[in-house]
Amino acid sequence: MRPSSLPPNNVPAHECRDGAGETRPRVGGRGITVATIAAAALGIGVADYATYPAPLPDYAAARAAYRPSEAWLYDRNGVLVDSSRVDFAARRLAWTPLDRIAPVVPDTIVAAEDRRFAQHGGVDWLALAGSAWGRVKGQRARGASTLSMQVAAFLSPDLAAPGARGWRDKWRQLRAARALEARWTKPQILEAYLNLAPFRGEAQGIGAAALGLFGKTPVALSREDAVLLAALLPDPQGSAERLAARACRLAQASDCSGYQAAAASMLGPARSLALDPGLAPHLSDRLLTSPGARVDTTLDIRVQRMAAAALRRQLQGLGGSRARDGAVLVVDNESGDLLAYVGGIGGASTAPAVDGANSYRQAGSTLKPFLYAQAIERGYLTAASILDDSPVQLDTASGLYVPQNYDRGFKGPVSARAALAGSLNVPAVRTLLLVGVDPFRDRLWDMGYRGLTEDGQYYGFSLALGSAEVTLLEQAAAYRSLALGGAWSPLRVIRDQPRTAPRQVTTGPAAWIVGDMMADPNARAATFGLDSALRLPFWAAVKTGTSKAMRDNWCIGYSDRFTVAVWVGNVEGDPMRAVSGTSGAAPVWRDVMMALHARAPSGAPPKPAGVETRQIVFDGQLEQPRREYFLAGTGQSRITVAPREARRPRIASPVTGTVYAIDPDIPPDRQRFAVAVTGDVVAQRLVLDGRDMGPASAAPPIAAAPGQHRLRLIDAGGATVDEVRFTIR
């Protein structure tokens, strides 16, 4: 009998039979090899799949996908005017090419972070082996990530997600680095690293780090700066002491005091983009809305600087207790391009972020030129027409409207020229009575004043004095239209913005005559004097305005080439103190106009067709003889005040709705009020509550008991010519 350990005859050594006489493979030999190979192949496939990194973009795609946190505003010549932070996740400036970085920076960082960068193919195996051996010996692990591995992690953040420290994550990063090296050049990888690496706080990339930490551009960094940046990379949030010690070791310096001082300065208060001109922050807030955007504007940085400086000087001179805010616009008349947009300068402002150039404020007297132009073009007035600057009370649905002049005085009969140039209020209201409130409101809407959303009756007679709210931008566009002969078109601030064909709103002759009235220093002398800030050594048409309670002060005017609009006030709406029409905005307007015309003074615009010239005299020497301009066919040589008999008899005061209050400390029989009548009233009489008060031509002061009263003006036949009702309390 054969030993049981031996197989039966004719059975191969690697097989054996089972009880049914079947043969089966033995464990070992070639069977083990096949199974092992299959298992290994499967394992490798699984490991390959598990460690396969996400596809990385090529260099061009990575550059295209890069988005700075900032956006930039440039002037018409490509000069940086301002920038604005748009993305607050991290601070990243524009991508900085390698040739725009001081060479000492990449050299120092490569030496500190990846000294075999030029030799390896994405993975420094020697550094990895050294790191692994250090772990075996229980030493502190040294970093073995190459610049390529870090760039791969920047491009695919899941490679370096928090908690991604396992062998699988590390192997994915190794494979990604090798794939990156196969498609990118070494300079491209180095450039990407310098632009994507986090340096300190929210500063990401060499541009933000250089500007935020040193106040320099990358090309201006020194060797000491480069060493500090390299020392910062392993521990971006480390203390100044640790940074200085690491920098000293990298530089192999024997004296570390210099690095200690530099580190303390570098990590001190942020320089917040010190090289940014910051000249148009309010416009930047309006236009810069997309990260990385570059907006080319129509601004001229020289004009922008000059306008901002003029406003700053004036506000500093006024002092924060008198007026805190202001805005300036400069427009090229021909193109409509904004050359300067100063929405504010900060200073003593309590709301510096508010854009004073685009905020609605009460217009004051700045709307009067458009009212007079409308009256002149319709033939209701000429520049020589006489208007009555005397007390007037107008009955309105909300009560009496009693306009007064700025100085609380009245000048009697004045020409329309003197009334506009001197900014008299009562003549403007009388002119509005001729034009009509609704037609004037519609004219202002056509001039681009889009804040007038109500009908004319909503604003009432006060619209003549600027009760409506307007913006400085609307003012500049409207006054520019007068400079262009009454043709209005929107202003432009973006360089490639299409131009809009102008539309005629005011007739050319009327616009020219009103411009000549505003440019007349003699006509405004009675109100502003002969040597005010409004008088320039060359031709310019200008108008000031002050809103109710001294909240806003305006000065807008134009020369042959430029329109300059200035607002001074307090954006929070509190009144100014001791600021007049010529001491608030006017000095800024003058300074800007003088600077704009320093080389070439402005000339008067030529007289257009449809305007005739006459030498005129005023009866009674009401005003000095002068040369005057009229619409063709309306010229006059002799101007006189309408005779009394030419006026309709009426009661001028009191007006219906007036309420008088009796003073209890004064005897009632001593309290009287005057009655004023106008027109030819030789044959008229006054009747109070049915009681004859005598001839209207010699109306005596009236005393009446408390209650409602009716005062009538009757003619010789007893017919009522005029009637008013008033109350005494």
Using omega within 30 degrees of 0 as the cis cutoff, is the peptide bond preceding 654 cis? Answer: yes
Kind of pairing between the strands at 23-25 and 15-17: antiparallel
CA dist 193 and 229 (Å) reads 13
- Phi, psi for 255 (deg, rounded to 5): -115, 115
CA dist 4 and 2 (Å) reads 6
pLDDT of residue 645: 66
List the one residue out of 351, 417, 363 whose CA is nearest residue 389: 417
- The backbone region for 397, taken as left when phi is positive above 0, alpha when psi lies in -120 to 50, beta otherwise, is alpha
- State both tokens at 475: 């003012």
CB 404 within 8 A of CB 415: no
CB 279 within 8 A of CB 311: no
R_g over Cα of the chain = 42
CB 319 within 8 A of CB 302: no
Bridge partners of 412, per DSSP, are 389
Domains parsed from the chain with CATH numbers: 15-50 (no CATH), 59-71+84-266 (1.10.3810.10), 361-638 (3.40.710.10), 644-728 (2.60.40.10)
CB 382 within 8 A of CB 636: yes
Bridge partners of 397, per DSSP, are none
- The backbone region for 609, taken as left when phi is positive above 0, alpha when psi lies in -120 to 50, beta otherwise, is beta
CA dist 236 and 214 (Å) reads 15
pLDDT of residue 163: 46
Q: Which amino acid is at 437?
A: V
pLDDT of residue 671: 83
Q: What per-residue string of b and e applies to 494-524 under the rule 16 or more CB within 10 Å gives b?
A: eeeeeeeebeebbbbbbbbbbbbbbbbbebb
Residues 303, 306, 309, 310, CA torsion sign: negative
pLDDT of residue 226: 95
List the one residue out of 603, 570, 561, 566 whose CA is nearest residue 587: 566
Residue in this structure with the two tokens 């049915």, named with its chain if needed: 690
pLDDT of residue 275: 65
Residues 565, 568, 573, 576, CA torsion sign: negative
Long-range Cβ pairs for the range 531-535 (8 Å, 24+): 532/582, 532/586, 533/582, 533/583, 533/586, 533/587, 533/589, 533/590, 534/582, 534/586, 534/589, 534/590
Identify each DSSP E strand in 428-468 by its residue range: none
Three-state DSSP class for residue 399:
strand
CA dist 180 and 408 (Å) reads 81
CA dist 306 and 591 (Å) reads 9
List the one residue out of 359, 304, 338, 312 whose CA is nearest residue 472: 359
pLDDT of residue 227: 95
Tally the residues of the chain.
Answer: 729
Mean pLDDT, rounded, of the chain: 88
CA dist 208 and 704 (Å) reads 82
Kind of pairing between the strands at 676-678 and 650-653: antiparallel
DSSP string, 149-204: HHHHHHHSGGGG-TT--SHHHHHHHHHHHHHHHHHS-HHHHHHHHHHH-EEETTEE
Calculate the CA 61 to chain-centre distance: 35
| Cα separation of the two ends of the chain | 150
CA dist 693 and 708 (Å) reads 17
Q: Please state the pTM of the whole predicted model.
A: 0.81
Average pLDDT per 10 consecutive residues for the chain, totaling 729 residues: 43 46 49 66 53 81 93 96 90 94 96 92 82 64 78 84 60 88 95 94 91 90 95 90 92 88 82 72 95 95 98 95 96 98 95 96 97 97 93 68 74 94 94 96 97 93 94 98 98 95 97 98 90 94 93 96 97 91 92 97 97 95 95 94 76 81 82 84 89 86 88 91 88
